[in-house]
Amino acid sequence: KLRRQAEAEKRREEAKKEKEEKSAMLTNKAEDIIRARSELKEQKKRENLQKQMKKDAEEEKRREAREKGLLEAYERISEKKRLKKEEEDRLAAELRKIKLQREYLNADKSQMEK
């Protein structure tokens, strides 16, 4: 009877030990899964941050290119306006000179007729 009780106690202890080992194994698996999920989440965060930084850098390059193009266009337009104004000023001066010459010629002509 004592032997059977000892065997039963031994089986209970083994079953208890087996349950504890299984519980510890499941706890370890759960912790591993939680850790893996956390690492994956952090990795995704880093990837998203890198993607956003790359996207921002590309947008900045496009904005700079657009601004550079606008600045170059503004400079070309300003240069054309400046050249046009210079030409208009030159033509106006030439026209004044021609009018003055005509006045002198007309004055000389009227002097000669007298």
For every residue of 44-59, DSSP letters joined together read: HHHHHHHHHHHHHHHH
pLDDT of 12 strictly over 80: yes
Task: Indicate the pLDDT class of residue 114, thresholds 50, 70 and 90.
Answer: low
Give the separation between CA 99 and CA 92, rounded to whole angstroms: 10
What are the CA-CA distances from residue 59 to residues 40, 55, 67 (Å)?
Answer: 28, 6, 12
Residue 11 clears pLDDT 70, i.e. is over it? yes
Give the whole-angstrom CA distance, residue 103 versus residue 114. 17
| 40's tokens | 């994956």
The mean-pLDDT minimum among 5-9, 82-86, 91-95, 105-109 falls in 105-109
In angstroms, the CA 47 to CA 30 distance is 25
CA distance 35 to 1: 50
Q: Is the dihedral of CA 28, 34, 39, 43 positive or negative?
A: positive
